[in-house]
Structure 1
C-alpha cells in the first residue's frame, strides 16, 4: 500500500491466532453463530448477507477485479479466491476488525474519525476506496471498517517505531511487533469459529478449508 502503511503487514496477517474449529460435542451451543470474538457474536445471517452483497458489487466493479487479480498490488493478497473461500475471507476480516479494535484499546490508541477519513482519501487516490474494499473481499459499505483497521495498524506501528519507509528496518521490526501483538490479543479474546466455515491454520494466520470428518460437521459454535 505504499509508505502510508508499509509492506510488512497485510490486512489478514496474524489473523485469528487463537481461533480454530470446535471439534467437541456438548456444551452451550449458539446456533446461527459464525464466530465468537471476545464475547462479540458474528451471526451466520450477517456473514451470508455480507458475502452476497460483496459478490453482487464485485461483479460490477472492473477496478476491484483488476486490483484483486494483480499479484503486484497489495490488495491482491487480501481476502480469498472464490466460492467457499470468499466466505472464509470475509469472516476472517470481520474477526480481524474486532481484534484490531481490542488491540487499539489495550494500547491506548484512539483512532479518530479524521484519521479514518485520511485513509479513505488516500485509497480514493489509489483506485478508489470502495474498489479497494471490494478487492479485499467485503462490500463497499465496509469501506470505513477497512480504513479504520488500516489507520489502527498505522498508529500502532508508529508506536513500535515505524518511520513510514516500507523498506526500512524500523518499519520491518514494527510490522513484526504488530503481528505478534495481534496474535497475543486474539489469543486473549478466546475466538471461536463455527466449524462449518473451516479450520484455523496457525502457519497462515487465517481460516482454512473445512476438514471433513466421518461424522457430520457441527452447525453451531460452542462456548
Structure 2
C-alpha cells in the first residue's frame, strides 16, 4: 500500500499535483431540506456552504496571488476569470471541493493510508514554498479556513501518486500512467460512495470530481429536495 512520501520526494510530486489542477461522487436523488449534499452519513448544510462562500468571496477579492492562480490553469488554478461573480458557480465550486476532500479521506481509508498532522504540515509547507497555501486554497474556491483540509487532500493524492510512480519523474510515461491510475482510483471511490447533491447546485461527476453547472432556471429552486 502507498505510504507517505519521504520529505525529499514530496516537492516534485506535489508540484505535479498542483500543476494538474486536481480537486476539481455519484450525485443522486433528493436530499433533506437544508442540505447542500450528503456524503454517506456526513451532511454538508446549505448554511455551511453559504458561509464558506461568503468568506471565500471576501478573502479572494483581497488576495492577488489567488486571483492570478485561479486565472491560470497551468499554475494549478481553476482556469476561470479572476473577477468575482456572485453566481451559483461559486457555490457549486466550493461544494465540489468540500465533497472532494471527503472523497480523499475515503481513498486514504481504503488503501490504509494513515495521514498524520505532521504529513499535512509538510504539504502546507511545500505549498507555501511554491505559490502559498493560502493562495492555493482560495484559487480552488474555498476560504482559507479550509487550507489544512485541502492540504490533507493533496497529502493523500501525493502519497498515492508517489507510491504508484515508484520514482518515475514528472512528465515521464511512467509518471503519467501513475497519474491516470490515481485519478481512476479517486473516481472509482467517489462513484462507490453514497453521495447525494442538492440539484440546485447541479450534478456531480465522479469521473471529474467536480460539479456540473446547473441551468439558471433550476438554480433558484429547491426542486427535488425533501
TM-score (normalised: structure 1): 0.83
For these two proteins, the number of residue pairs brought into alignment is 210
Question: Is the partner of 2:165 in helix, strand or coil?
Answer: coil
Question: Is the partner of 2:37 in helix, strand or coil?
Answer: strand
Matched, 1:121 2:125: yes
**C-alpha separation in 1, matches of 2:208 and 2:13:** 24
Matches within 5 A, 1:1-223: 3-5=12-14, 6-7=16-17, 9-13=20-24, 16=25, 18-20=26-28, 22=29, 30-77=32-79, 82=85, 83-163=87-167, 165-201=169-205, 204-211=208-215, 212=217, 217-218=222-223, 220=225
Deviation, structure 1 residue 141: 0.9
Considering Cα pairs closer than 8 Å and 6+ residues apart, tell me whether 1 or 2 has the greater RCO. Answer: 1
Larger mean Cα displacement after TM superposition, 140-149 or 118-127: 118-127
Return closer, same or farther for 1:66/1:12 CA change in 2, 3 Å cut-off: same
Question: Deviation digits for residues 117-155 of structure 1, max 9, x if unmatched?
Answer: 111111111232111111111111111011110010011
Larger mean Cα displacement after TM superposition, 57-66 or 68-77: 68-77
Question: Is the partner of 1:72 in helix, strand or coil?
Answer: helix
TM-score (normalised: structure 2): 0.82
Higher-helix-fraction structure: 2
Unaligned runs of 5+ in 2: 1-9
**C-alpha separation in 2, matches of 1:79 and 1:91:** 19
Quote the RMSD (CA, aligned, Å).
2.7
Unaligned runs of 5+ in 1: none
Question: Deviation digits for residues 48-78 of structure 1, max 9, x if unmatched?
Answer: 0000000011111111112112243112448
